[in-house]
Amino acid sequence: MPDVMLAPLETVEPSLPLASDGVRRWVWHSRYGAMLIEVIGDEVYVNQQRVEPHAA
């Protein structure tokens, strides 16, 4: 089973602005459901929850 499944275009929410000032967004469709990934400056969010960076 693949990690990423592409959804047909008609299933993607058209009202979601994927491009906006200072924010990069992706919708990831996996076997566990869709996830919204956002990058705002140096901060990363998945489903509106901040992702802690891994310490080097």
Q: 30 pairs with which residues across the strands?
A: 4, 33
pTM of the complete model: 0.62
Per-residue pLDDT 10s for the chain (56 aa) are 444 445 554 555 545 566 678 888 888 888 888 888 888 999 999 999 999 988 87
Is the backbone of residue 50 left (phi > 0), alpha (psi -120 to 50) or beta? beta
Q: How far apart are the C-alpha atoms of 6 and 43, rounded to whole Å?
A: 26
Planar angle of CA 14, 45, 34, nearest 5 degrees: 45
